[in-house]
Amino acid sequence: MKILVCIKQVADSSDTVQIDVRTGHLFYAANTAFRVNRFDEFALEEALLIKEKLAGTSVDALSVGPERVSATLQRAMGMGADHGIHILDRADGYRSPFTIASLIATRVAVSKYDLILTGVMAEDTMASQTGQLIAALLDLPCATSVIQEEIRPERAEILVQREIEGGSRETVQLKMPAVLTIQPGINSPRYPSFSKVMRARTYAQELIKAEDLATEEPRELCRRVRVPEATSQGVLIEGSAREKARKLISILHEKALLS
């Protein structure tokens, strides 16, 4: 069984992400630390759990982005991925989920994966699109928000439970090859030991330049990024911590919320 996990590198904290007033786009301050998108860690862990259960399984990790992304792949290999694929994309500014998915789909079309996993969304852009788009571009079945999976290798099938509204679950049966986007909570992602991550530094990564991959034209553009308008009707309570506590209590009294 061959599994691909698509992982995204994100800024560790939004505090170092700022708007460039000239271009209207986001940029990372020089002191920005990067890490793996938390949602993708669940996808990688699930792939590694399958590998431990099914003999002969290999796990590839793929990421799109500039040079710094190789550290993310290194960590994935430290966690237990066998191979790292880096699609080197140095482009600045807005990259739509469609552009990223079409880069990945073009690269993936040449390898035969039985299963492609990714997180249900990215923490930064929160679009919940890339996995589904990869599936659609490759004409593969896909299930999103997967909270449980059971592979039936002899039938080339996978049975999954999707988490839907109110915590209900939908059972879907998919023919492999298939794409799954993984819901957090499905497992507890492992922490790779320092020595494993250091050893992974010496592992080769496959490097492909984004411009060498044939992709489709973008279908939308980002006009600008801004901070949200303050739409809150709410009141920010001011003062020292104790003053704030007292003011809040008197408000709750007025509203008869304290007996």
Partner 1 sequence: MEESTIYIIAELRKGSITQEAYELVSFARAIGKGKSPVFLLLGKNIQEQAAEMARKTGCDTIALSGEHLDHYNTLSYAQALAEILREKAAAWVCLPHTSMGYDLAPRLAVLLQAACITGVQSCVDGSLSRAAYSGKFVEEIVPTTPRVVVTVLPGAFQPCEETTGPTGKVKSKDVASTELPSQTLGTQESVHRDSALKDAEVIVSGGRGLGNKENISLVKKLAAVFPRSAIGASRSACDLGWFERKHQLGTTGQTVSPKLYIACGISGAFQHVSGIRGSQTIVAINTDIHAPIFQVAHYGIVEDLTLFIPILIEELSSN
By CB under 8 A, the residues from 174 to 203 that bind partner 1 are 174-175, 178, 183-185, 188
Question: 34 CB contacts (<8 Å, ≥6 apart)?
Answer: 9, 10, 11, 12, 68, 71, 72
Q: Which of 16, 32, 125, 205 binds partner 1 (CB under 8 A)?
A: 125
**Contacts (CB under 8 A) with partner 1, residues 35-74:** none
Q: Which of 54, 91, 109, 164 binds partner 1 (CB under 8 A)?
A: 164
Question: 243 CB contacts (<8 Å, ≥6 apart)?
Answer: none
Q: From CA 50, how far away is CA 75, in angstroms rounded? A: 19
Cβ density class 196-206: b for 16+ within 10 Å, e for less: ebeebeeeebe
Strand 169-175 relative to strand 178-182, pairing: unpaired
166 counts as binding partner 1 under rule CB under 8 A:
yes
Q: From CA 51, how far away is CA 80, in angstroms rounded? A: 10
Q: Which of 32, 173, 190, 213 binds partner 1 (CB under 8 A)?
A: 173
The DSSP output letter for 65 is E
Q: Which of 30, 33, 126, 214 binds partner 1 (CB under 8 A)?
A: 126
235 counts as binding partner 1 under rule CB under 8 A:
yes
Nearer to partner 1 (CB atom), residue 76 or residue 135: 135
223 counts as binding partner 1 under rule CB under 8 A:
yes
127 counts as binding partner 1 under rule CB under 8 A:
yes
- For the chain, the residue count is 259
* Site stretch for partner 1 (CB under 8 A), options 54-62, 109-117, 198-206, 218-226: 218-226
**Contacts (CB under 8 A) with partner 1, residues 129-148:** 129, 132-133, 135-137, 140-145
Strand 83-88 relative to strand 205-209, pairing: parallel
Contact characters 77-106, partner 1, x per CB under 8 A: -----------------x--xx--x-----
Considering only the C-alpha atoms of the chain, give the largest distance between any 2 of them, rounded to a whole number of Å. Answer: 69
**Contacts (CB under 8 A) with partner 1, residues 10-39:** 14, 17, 19, 26
Q: Which of 32, 71, 124, 153 binds partner 1 (CB under 8 A)?
A: 124
Nearer to partner 1 (CB atom), residue 79 or residue 200: 79
Q: From CA 1, how far away is CA 214, in angstroms rounded? A: 27
Nearer to partner 1 (CB atom), residue 191 or residue 206: 191
The count of residues interacting with partner 1 (CB under 8 A) is 78
Find tokens 């000239």 and name the residue. 22
Nearer to partner 1 (CB atom), residue 94 or residue 113: 94
- Does an H or E element contain 103, and which? helix 97-108
